[in-house]
Amino acid sequence: MTRSEFDDIRAHIDAEADHPGDLIRVARSLLSDLEDARMREATLRAYYLRLLTAARATVAAEAAGYPEPLTFLTDELGKRGQLPATQDEVNRILADAHTAAALLACLEQAPIAAAGKGARARRCAGTSRSLPR
């Protein structure tokens, strides 16, 4: 859920606190969204673990002198459809990697100042959604 959806739910609860049926529907919706988010997180963790394992195996294979150490990583990327198919794609991927490295270096040099305890950034105002009754 987005931050504005949570804000809409808070506003709805504040305005309609005397309608228990609405609150139960909101609670069920939140539980469903939480379950979906946990499943997405578990899937992403599994993908990350597989990629990390392939990367470590690649480095270990190179250190052990295997003839084709990239096999582990190539296989994992191929399963996900992430191997570059053209030279243009190779160039774009390399450019993205250089850009990402430069951005990370900038963030490490000047980290974003953390907001004070309990402080909350102002959100953009937009069209409000109404929750079902």
d(CA 88, CA 68): 25
How confident is the model over 30-85, as pLDDT tens digits?
888 889 999 999 999 999 999 999 999 999 999 999 999 999 999 999 999 999 99
Residues 131 and 22: beta-carbon distance below 8 Å: yes
In degrees, to the nearest 5, what angle opens at C-alpha 111 toward C-alphas 105 and 117? 160
Residues 58 and 70: beta-carbon distance below 8 Å: yes
Residues 129 and 8: beta-carbon distance below 8 Å: yes
d(CA 49, CA 83): 18
Cα–Cα distances (Å) from 56 to 47, 67, 70, 109, 128, in that order, read 14, 16, 10, 28, 48
Cα–Cα distances (Å) from 103 to 29, 91, 115, in that order, read 37, 18, 21
Give domain limits for the chain.
3-107
What is the pTM for the complete model shown? 0.58
Residue with token string 């539980």: 31
How confident is the model over 1-36, as pLDDT tens digits?
677 877 777 777 677 656 667 777 777 888 888 899
